[in-house]
Amino acid sequence: MNCIFCGIADGSVNTQLVYEDEQVVAFKDLNPQAPTHLLIIPRQHIARLSEADEKDAALLGHLLLVAKKLADQFGLKDFRLVTNNGKGAGQSVDHLHFHLMAGRRFLWPAG
């Protein structure tokens, strides 16, 4: 498997992490779409949310709690947390990840 996010998660691809624990890593997006734009990924390779199942429930909950922790750490009161599922939805890396973005006004509907 040649997954850039797996390489970041296992340390073989160098990037500056803003958070890490046994299950999750987070880092700044290389192509930020907002003044604060972090990517939060599980160390375990799951290609997209639609491929997760019941055994991943605790990990999925942990990803959300890490997003909250990072929002607190970065002093973000208003933020957007999003994941894209598949290329048609804008997913460019086939590894589940959440975008935590803040620092500008976001419109709705998104996209």
- Closest of 68, 56, 64 to residue 98, by C-alpha: 64
- Identify the sign of the CA torsion 66, 67, 68, 70: positive
Q: Which of 37, 45, 95, 97 is catalytic?
A: 97
- Tell me, yes or no, if 97 is annotated catalytic: yes
Following CA atoms 13, 5, 110, 64 in sequence, which dihedral angle do they give, to the nearest 10 degrees? -110
**Could you give the residue numbers annotated as active site?**
97
